Amino acid sequence: VHEGILRRQSLRESAARTYARSLPIVPVRARGMTIEGADGRRYLDCLSGAGTLALGHNHPVVLEAIRKVIDSGAPLHVLDLATPVKDAFTTELFATLPRQFADNARIQFCGPAGTDAVEAAFKLVRAATGRSGLLAFTGAYHGMTAGALAASGGAEDVRVTRLPFPQNYRCPFGIGGERGAEIAARWTENLLDDPKGGAPAPAGMILEPVQGEGGVNPAPDSWMRRMREITETRSVPLIADEVQTGVGRTGAFWAIEHSGIVPDVMVLSKAIGGSLPLAVIVYRSELDTWQPGAHAGTFRGNQLAMAAGTATLAFVREHRLTERAATLGARMVARLQALATDHPSIGDVRGRGLMIGVELVDPEAAARGGSPEPPPAPVLAAAVQQECLRRGLIVELGGRQATVVRLLPPLTLTDEQATAVVDRLADALAAAER
Ligand code: PMP
C-alpha cells in the first residue's frame, strides 16, 4: 500500500508539491505528536502541519467539539452568516487577545488560508489610508497569493518597500542583539523619511514577531517597540502576522505580548482552526472603513473549524500551555546549544517557546576559504532531515537556503517526547556529518 501510494502520487502530483517530496511517508493514523505511516512506522511529528497543531493530532477535545456540531444537526455551510458556533468562537478568541486591543476591535472572517487573511489586511489598510504602498521585511513569509507573495522575502514588487529584519546571526551589519536591531530600526526610519523616488506612500507595515519560514528569526522586543513607534508617529497601520506565532507557540498566547505592543491589525490562521482551515483578521475599529463585500469569499464560515478552534483556544488557556511552551522550549534550546559545542556544523540555535531553529553551516568550507563566517550548509541540512526521518522524527527546513532545521512540536508534547526529539536530532546530525 505504502509504496504504491507514494509511486502513484509522485507520478500524478505536480512538480510544485513540497512537503511530500522531502517526507515520503503515507500517514494513516495520528494522535498527539505521533503519526503512523501505512508501512506501520511511527514518527514524532515536529512539523505539526506547519505549526498548525497546537494540541497535536486528533486531540480528544477537538474531536469532541467537531462531533458536537455534526450531531447537533447544524448546517455545515452557511457562508458568513451569524451562528452560535461563530459567536462562541469570536467570544473565545477575543478573550485571548490583549484587552487594549480586543476592547476596540472588529473581526473579519477571511477564508480558509492564512494568505487570504493577509490579502484582507492589505485591502483594509489601503482602504483606510487611501495609500497603496506596503512595508515588509527581508526574510518574511506571508503566503502564496499575489499580495502576500509580493510582501514575502525575495519578491520584487514596486509597491513594497523592503526593510531590514534584525538578525543576530548573519547580521548584514555584523552587529547582533539590541544594537543591531537599533541600527536596523534607524535604517527603516531613514527610508521612510527619505523614500526612494517612485515608491508609493505606505498604507501599512507587515511583520512577523518571529519569522518562521524565513528560518526562525525572533525579533527583539526593543525592535518591535521601535517599529510600533515608527509606524505610530507616521500614521502607518502596523499589521502583525501571527499566523504561525499565535496560540501559545512562542510562550505567550500572542507573540506581540512579549514586547507589549498593540498592533492595528492582527492576521490569524493555522492553530485558531484547531487543525481545520480558518483565517481571520482582527483590527482596530477605526480602520473599519472599507465597503461591505470588500473581502468576500465562499468559505468563510467553516463551522467545524470554528468549533475545533474554540476548543483549542480554550484548552491552551485553561491548561496554561503558553507557560509550558516557554519552559519546554527553553530546555530544548539549552540542550541544542550544548550540542553545538561538539558539532561545529551547528552555526546557531535560536527561537522562542516551541518555535525553534537550528542553523547548519559548513565550518570546513570557511576554513578552506579563509573566511571567518561559515557558509550555510544546504546539503548537510537535507541529509539531516532524511536522517531524522529514518529515526522516526519529522522536521522541516526553513531559511533562504533551507539550512535551518525547524522544530514546531505541539504544545502538548511530554518531557519524554521533548528529550526524544533532541536525542534523535543529535543522532541524525552525527550520522549526516559522517
Ligand atoms: N503568514 C505566515 C507567518 C505563515 O507562516 C504562513 C504559512 N506558513 C502564512 C502567512 C500563509 O498561510 P497559508 O499557508 O495558510 O496561506
Q: Which domains does the chain have, with CATH numbers?
A: 2-58+320-433 (3.90.1150.10), 74-318 (3.40.640.10)
Q: Given the CA of residue 213, which atom of ligand 1 is nearest to it?
A: 5
Centroid of ligand 1 to alpha carbon of 145 (angstroms): 10
| Separation CA 256–CA 250 (nearest Å) | 10
| Separation CA 82–CA 64 (nearest Å) | 22
The pick from 144, 165, 254, 270 for probing ligand 1's pocket by mutation, whose C-beta has the most ligand atoms within 8 angstroms, reads 270
Q: Does ligand 1 have an atom closer than 6 angstroms to the CB of 213? A: yes
| Separation CA 424–CA 339 (nearest Å) | 12
Q: What is the ipTM of this complex?
A: 0.99
Q: Does ligand 1 have an atom closer than 6 angstroms to the CB of 212? A: yes
Q: Does ligand 1 have an atom closer than 6 angstroms to the CB of 250? A: no
Residue 111 has pLDDT above 90, yes or no: no
CB-based contacts of 48: which residues, under 8 Å, 6+ apart?
54, 56, 408, 409, 410
Residue 174 has pLDDT above 80, yes or no: no
* pLDDT reported for residue 173: 67
Helix boundaries (H) for 45-83: 48-51, 60-72
Q: Does ligand 1 have an atom closer than 6 angstroms to the CB of 114? A: yes
* pLDDT reported for residue 368: 85
Q: Kindly indicate the confidence band of residue 199, based on its pLDDT and cuts at 50, 70 and 90.
A: confident
Q: Do 375 and 212 touch, CB atoms closer than 8 A?
A: no
* pLDDT reported for residue 172: 64
Higher pLDDT, 133 or 176: 133
pLDDT in tens, 277-308: 999 999 999 999 999 999 999 999 999 999 99
192-224 core/surface letters (b: 16 or more CB in 10 A; e: else): beeeeeeeeebbbbbbbbbbbbbbbbbbbbbbb
CB-based contacts of 70: which residues, under 8 Å, 6+ apart?
76, 304
pLDDT in tens, 302-357: 999 999 999 999 999 999 999 999 999 999 999 999 999 999 999 999 999 999 99
Centroid of ligand 1 to alpha carbon of 273 (angstroms): 13
Q: Does ligand 1 have an atom closer than 6 angstroms to the CB of 205? A: no
